Amino acid sequence: MSFPTTGQPTGDPPPMSRHEGEPHVDSVNNLLNKLRASVLGANDGIVSVAGIVMGFAGATTDRHTIFLGGMAGLVAGALSMAAGEYVSVSTQRDTERALIAKETRELAEEPEEELAELADLYRERGLSEDLARKVALELTAHDALRSHLDIELGIDPDELTNPWQAAMASMVAFTLGALLPMLTILLFGAGLRVYVTVAAVTVALALTGYVSARIGDAPTRPAVLRNVVGGLLAMLVTYAIGSLIGNGVG
């Protein structure tokens, strides 16, 4: 998959594949990855909170109790997603900064080797020796650091992921997903809530499975199947446990 790039010397993917979900090659790819992360975050919210409210619904018909359980799960899940994302993106950012510093140092200390390296990389990508050397020379004169970061590491120094932004995005995505089972389990009466929730969650998981497979260029049918089966299993297990414990206590 390649999209037109803006002012970048190449539209090819970076040679070193970065943390899945955050290549910085071009903004369209970037946007798709953000969308995919949101869909997966929403998926997490649907599955974990559906499991929690089904567990409570197995144990009790009291709407207030189910609400408390679901709410605690929603808040805990959203915060845990945000914290996890913050830590992972921060670490990734530190790695990228260290690589930028290393490349800067190398360019200052051994410019000839770096020029040869850049020419080699363009030759490996299919340019003739002369042209690769010419491209490397011009790029080095224009912006040596940026050229090296781009073709060697696939890093765009202007597009380093912001950990706070990533944390916020996954928190919002999880919450949006979690709201679906919360609403279905709370809005319907004791006789219907379990069936409506299972149906709504099944449809939603089919949708998130489909969309994330499409974005990732993966076959959609197995993705949808895996996603729906996983969610159904989660609800089945918690509902069974809730029923057992609920009956045991009450």
**Cα separations (Å) of 145 from 75, 107, 140, 156, 161?**
43, 7, 8, 10, 19
- Residue closer to Zn ion by CB (options 149, 211) is 149
Instruction: State phi, psi for 19 to the nearest 5 degrees.
Output: -45, 125
Give 104's DSSP letter: H
Q: Is 146 among the residues that bind Zn ion (CB under 5 A)?
A: no
- Residue closer to Zn ion by CB (options 111, 219) is 111
Neighbours of 193 (CB within 10 A): 21
Q: Which stretch binds Zn ion (CB under 5 A): 13-21, 81-89, 144-152, 238-246?
A: 144-152
Rounded Cα distance between 211 and 204, Å, is 11
Q: Which of 22, 114, 150, 156 contacts Zn ion by CB under 5 A?
A: 114
Least Å from the CB of residue 158 to Zn ion: 18
Quick check: 89 and 83 in contact, CB under 8 A?
no
Beta strand segments in the chain, E: none
Least Å from the CB of residue 20 to Zn ion: 24
Residues 69-98 within binding reach of Zn ion (CB under 5 A): none
Least Å from the CB of residue 112 to Zn ion: 12
Q: Is 133 among the residues that bind Zn ion (CB under 5 A)?
A: no
Helices assigned H by DSSP within 60-110: 63-109
Counting residues that bind Zn ion (by CB under 5 A) gives 2
Rounded Cα distance between 1 and 125, Å, is 17
The residue whose Cβ lies closest to Zn ion is 148
Q: Which stretch binds Zn ion (CB under 5 A): 147-155, 165-173, 207-215, 226-234?
A: 147-155
Q: Which stretch binds Zn ion (CB under 5 A): 45-53, 69-77, 106-114, 199-207?
A: 106-114
- Residue closer to Zn ion by CB (options 85, 114) is 114
Q: Which stretch binds Zn ion (CB under 5 A): 94-102, 142-150, 192-200, 237-245?
A: 142-150
Instruction: State phi, psi for 217 to the nearest 5 degrees.
Output: 60, 35
Q: Is 148 among the residues that bind Zn ion (CB under 5 A)?
A: yes
* Torsion sign across C-alpha atoms 186, 42, 233, 74: negative
Binding site for Zn ion (CB under 5 A): 114, 148
